[in-house]
Amino acid sequence: MTSSSRHKSAVWLSGPNIAAAEIAASIGYTAVVLDIEHGSFDLGTLERFIPVLKGLGLEVLAKVLAPECGPT
């Protein structure tokens, strides 16, 4: 494994900004974290945006809402 294959860098996105993703990929970011909990994503947007990110060669990670304990 080379040092370049071990190094990963991610950009944090809170909205479906294709231009920001393109810039991140072009300057060497290898992954993107989508802040689904606090961001402006809905399911339809995610269905369109994630393939774009993968097409740019970015690994896609998601920060989702934590489970809540309901009344017992």
Cα-based distances in Å from 12 to 1, 2, 16: 26, 25, 11
Residue range 6-29, pLDDT digits in tens? 788 999 999 999 999 999 999 999
Residue range 27-55, pLDDT digits in tens? 999 999 999 989 899 999 999 999 999 99
User: Strand 10-13 vs strand 59-63: parallel, antiparallel, or unpaired?
Assistant: unpaired
1 pLDDT more than 50: no
pTM as predicted:
0.80
